[in-house]
Structure 1
Amino acid sequence: MASRDDALAIVGLMCVLKENRRKRYKRELWCKHWLLLRKSYSHTSLINELKITPKDYNNYLRMNEYLHLLSLVTPLIKKQDTILRNAITPHERLTATLRFLATGRSYECLKFSTIISPQALSAIIPETCEAIYKVLHKDYLKFPRTCNEWKAISALFEERWNFPHLLGAIDGKHIAIIPPKGCGSEF
């Protein structure tokens, strides 16, 4: 009988511990206090100051036609305010995305200048990149359609840069790679 009583006591203790664990993990905050101060402290305030000096403004965003791009993507990235909180504006979404693309910073690092949580940034940035692609791909991302067009591009790279069999290049972005084993100094 003692072993049955011990088993019941253990089961009872486990139930009490499980109940205490549930109570302990109750969320205290909906959002961190400093994230609620986005209107006062985010990079959008800095951008408004940088408009006075166009060179710095263009350097910060790494582009000249920001307002035109904003007008194109706004219908695709604008979200509706709710009774719980105001939505992150298209202006804030686009500038956060452009800073991410320009600097290569992590979401964790970018949260301090944008005053947007890393979790929100992880949804905002891919969504905004997709919107940018949708509005600009017809005019700026033209891909060859025939084999002869691809060969003409390759011939142009070989003629200008002495780089045979090259079909495209990216400028201004360093991409970290892990070289294959045994490749020596090739990479």
Structure 2
Amino acid sequence: MFDELLERITPFIEKEDTNYRKALEPGMKLVITLRHLATGDSYATLQYEFRVARNTICLLVKEVCDALVMELKNEVIVCPVDRGTWQEVAEEFPMRWNVPHACGALDGKRVAIRKPPKTGTMYHNYKGFFSVVLMAVVDADYKFMWIDVGGFGSQSDAQIYNQSELKECLEDGSIGLPPPSPCQMMSRTFPISCWEMTLLASAHTS
């Protein structure tokens, strides 16, 4: 998987050698970036592990992340827009998690950051640290179907959702959720008026 990923992003991150210095190999750039993303190690720590200057790491991490997004965004995160695909997603939840009528699990994750200058408490969250919020919808296999990145740490999940594109699509029906259907629960049949509610309920029960 590493070799495949490296092959795909090399054209975006490969640099030519100059008379003054030899360019850093794409493989080294990818390794450093993956280590940083997976462990949260600081640039100061990484510079001693890989013998690459901290100011260089600061630049290459952004470069590699941009390349990963550019190359993978259209195939890694795909949000269904038709009833058939949503139905397939919904059928997986009762089999894997015993949760009927769920089209996805919605929740927010607070990602720690350094306090941006002149932002006051905008990014300071209720847990006591500075963060941005990653809000996502995943299917029964934990695969991302939709994400919203960059919400202020001081915002609640509900605030971020209310300002999101996802809410707009659910309200205007453009996301293509299946029509209402009966739900068998506790030996009784309860009508489910809208599939949207099962999607949103995941956020409140997680």
TM (normalized to structure 1)? 0.48
Which structure carries more strand by proportion?
2
TM (normalized to structure 2)? 0.44
Higher-Rg member (1/2): 1
